[in-house]
Amino acid sequence: MKKILFALSILFIFGLSAKAQSRIYAPELKAPVSEAIEQSPDVLLDWLAVTGEGIEIQYEVQLAENPDFTSATTFPRTSITSMKMSNLLFGHVYYWRVRAIDDLGVSDWSVSWSFTVITTVLIESPGNLAVVSPDPVLKWKVLTGITGYDIQVDTSYSWKPLAGIVSSKLNDVFEVDADNAWFVGDNGVIVQKANGAYTVLSDITTSNLFDVYFVDANNGWVVGDGGTILYYNGTEFTAQTSGLTTALNGVYFTSATNGYAAGSAGKLLHFDGTDWTPVTSGVTLDLFSIHGNSANNIWAVGKTGNYTHFDGTSWTAGTYSNRDMNDVWVTASNKVWVAAKAGRIFSWNGSWSEQTFGSPPRDLQGVCFVNDQNGYIVGNNGTLLYFNGLVWQALASGTTETLYGIHFSTESSGYLVGNAGSLIAFQGEGFDSPYLKSYSTPGDILEFKLGNLLFGQAHYFRVRAKHAAATSDWSPASSFMVISKPTLVSPANNATNISLDTLAKWQAISGVAKYSIQLSMDADFTDPQYFESTAAEYRFDGLLFSKDYYWRVNARHAQDVSSWSDARKFSTANAVSLTEPAHQATDVTRLPRFTWQGIKGTEKYMIQFGKDNGFADAQTELTTTPLYQTIYLLDKNTSYYWRVKAIQGLDSTNWSQVRSFVTTGETGIGETTENEIFSVYPNPGTGVFSMSLRNVSSPYFTVEVYNLTGSKVFEQQHQAFGNDGKARLDLTSLPNGMYLIRLHEGNAAYTKRLIIE
């Protein structure tokens, strides 16, 4: 019986204990997800609510920089299911956990999760190598929990293009040390850098060369097309026999007596210090690159994700993805990096993983690590990526050419190479020239407008964030090019028949104070006229007929003046273009109206018309408008000739082309003479006239009055005739002189001379 009672007591006590422990459960974490990266320094920790038997549940949060929570920060209890952090350190990994507490007990701690605070600011624009005005706006992605940003802008940067050494495509580079580097490329190009100078070696080979590797300054190998293998002994290059006629794309040595070359169709050769012999790679497709970190850990990679690995004993082939693996770098026995097609970055640490970089993704061509944690990748369109130990970030390379090779001898010395002889040297952090511009902005500002930047210069900028406890790393530098000169719009280059008063236009550049314009009659601008404008246009006037002119524009602001734009040429009009009557027109009214295309800036026009094509009997008139209205009836059914020239001061165009026409054989409706259907009286008169029209077909008509130059000086519409067919015309506003009056009634038109005195 005692045993039974004892057993019941034990069960009762255990039950009470179990009940006490189950009153409240450990919270379940929600966000940020475990191992999240790029979190703000004021990240919001969020978890799911729990239930318990107590009256009020509160939560206790711990945050630490190590997974065992030694030296953890314990925050005051809260009744809500989230807590906002502040002033977390940039780039640091944090661990956090939560437990629930009520008046009856305390839960277990939740599982712990980790997150990494963002290391720096993410730049949005301008994009790398964008061409911008001298006052671009810098923009970056929103980052909360910070108090301000620092900005630096400079023309000096980590990477410096070295121009003019070679023009051929460069495929690879190997830097032995800071003063000893080798560059190889198409058409047998080999460049040596020594003693601060770059020397192009000639007459060694004409084959395209794809890879170079040196074990020291006196032992190096170059491989290329047609099975080419070249050995450098510290003094000169000599050819070695590969036994192949197909391309060798990669070469790697662990010592002067142990090396490998990889190439087309999976070919793999081994060098033992004396000879090259074939090795079975297990791959049948092209191998593009080979690298290792010891004699017992060598990787070769190639087409459509094929690779092979040497463990010191044998080669084992495999595949991953279907993307071409263009280059490989081995940093450790369990760490391999691969630059691949379509922006793919593959990594192996016992198993393969990948990520895609770029939008759109560019083919990645070369990879190099300077240590276990920091490396670079290059690729198409000047792509340059940097790995900071956590993430890959885009850097400005200073070129849009495709980059194929990259190599560093130390963290502070290295090169990029690529298309069109691209050779770019690493020169440290940069941002140290006298031109350096530094700015600071509040933390709620996400963009910053620059001003007065140098025309035609590559500029680099970077941004960092800060709060009360820390300052972030500088962002990877981004580059842009400030526009070098204005772009002309109109007149088009070599435009002809330009008026004497013409508007020149060019593309506007923001951030410019004014533009200077030069106009010259010679292409060298030896004695130009100068003009200025604050707008992106300027009107040239007072030009001469039938002359060639050259013009160009530059821009200026408080700190700099741009280069002159490309010059353009235009030619002013040398003749008037006639419009009506058309050439060889027939049945033309006996009171024709001559019209032609006007030339802006012209003072007047001279017109001649007559029956003789030599104009011996021509009537000559002057007009300030591009038309002339005859006021006397021409002869019936008669051929006439006419021409026009423009006059400006003492200058004039050539005569236009001569046109001819034949007048009608009958007097048309409206071509009436004195005392016919339409009459005006008194004529001459003092300004008030009566008009009479017989056989009126419409109650409405229009009266037009022209002066002797053909300009319309009066128009009156919709004035009804009276029952007697008469109407009143008031021309007292016109000066004394001779005029031509034309009346339109229905489909008919009538013309008469009129004198006001």
Question: Is pLDDT of 382 > 90?
Answer: yes
Give 176-187 pLDDT, tens digit per residue: 999 999 999 999
Question: Is pLDDT of 301 > 70?
Answer: yes
Question: Is pLDDT of 19 > 70?
Answer: no
What range does the domain containing 471 cover?
A: 123-156+432-482
Does residue 382 form part of some domain? yes
Same domain, 625 and 550: no
Q: What is the pLDDT of residue 324?
A: 98
Q: What is the mean pLDDT of residues 576-595?
A: 94
Q: What is the pLDDT of residue 129?
A: 82
CA separation, residue 632 to residues 311, 589, 624, 667, 745 (Å): 110, 11, 20, 13, 21
Q: Are 223 and 251 in contact (CB under 8 A)?
A: yes
Question: Which of 386, 452, 462 has the alpha carbon at shortest distance from 149?
Answer: 462
Of 556, 572, 588, which residue is a domain's last?
A: 572
Of 540, 572, 604, which residue is a domain's last?
A: 572
Which single residue is written with the structure tokens 């006037």? 541
Q: What is the pLDDT of residue 363?
A: 96
Q: What is the mean pLDDT of residues 282-289?
A: 98
Q: Are 343 and 356 in contact (CB under 8 A)?
A: yes
Same domain, 524 and 376: no
Lowest-pLDDT range of 85-89, 113-117, 657-661, 738-742: 738-742
Q: What is the mean pLDDT of residues 501-511?
A: 97
Q: From CA 49, how far away is CA 63, in angstroms rounded?
A: 19
Q: Are 212 and 182 in contact (CB under 8 A)?
A: yes
Give 385-432 pLDDT, tens digit per residue: 999 888 898 888 988 899 999 999 999 999 999 999 999 999 888 898
Q: Which residues are CB-neighbours of 6 under 8 A, at least 6 positions away?
A: none
Same domain, 587 and 607: yes
Same domain, 606 and 458: no
- 228 C-beta neighbours (distance < 10 Å), count: 24
Does residue 534 form part of some domain? yes
Q: Are 301 and 338 in contact (CB under 8 A)?
A: yes
Same domain, 408 and 474: no
Same domain, 203 and 312: yes
Same domain, 201 and 146: no
Question: Which of 107, 129, 140 has the alpha carbon at shortest distance from 472?
Answer: 140
Q: From CA 750, how far away is CA 727, in angstroms rounded?
A: 15
Helix H, strand E, coil C: the string for 640-658 is EEEEEEEEECCEECCCCCC
Give 599-637 pLDDT, tens digit per residue: 999 999 999 999 999 999 899 999 999 999 887 789 999
Whichever domain contains 464, its CATH number is: 2.60.40.10
Whichever domain contains 271, its CATH number is: 2.130.10.10
Does residue 4 form part of some domain? no
Q: From CA 668, how far away is CA 210, in angstroms rounded?
A: 88
Which single residue is written with the structure tokens 């060598």? 298
Q: Are 220 and 252 in contact (CB under 8 A)?
A: no
Q: What percent of the chain has pLDDT over 90?
A: 76
Q: What is the mean pLDDT of residues 195-205?
A: 94
Q: What is the mean pLDDT of residues 239-248?
A: 97
What SS3 state is found at 14?
A: helix
Same domain, 424 and 503: no
Question: Is pLDDT of 5 > 50?
Answer: no
Q: What is the pLDDT of residue 584?
A: 96
Q: What is the pLDDT of residue 682?
A: 80
Average predicted confidence (pLDDT) for the chain? 91
Q: What is the pLDDT of residue 722?
A: 59
Does residue 5 form part of some domain? no
Same domain, 471 and 508: no
Task: Give me the amino acid identity at 318.
Answer: G
- Structure tokens that stand for 418 in this block: 């690529």
Does residue 670 form part of some domain? no
Same domain, 324 and 281: yes
Question: Is pLDDT of 672 > 50?
Answer: no
Of 572, 589, 611, which residue is a domain's last?
A: 572
Q: How many domains does the chain have?
A: 6
Does residue 13 form part of some domain? no
Same domain, 313 and 211: yes
Does residue 14 form part of some domain? no
Does residue 374 form part of some domain? yes
Same domain, 225 and 370: yes
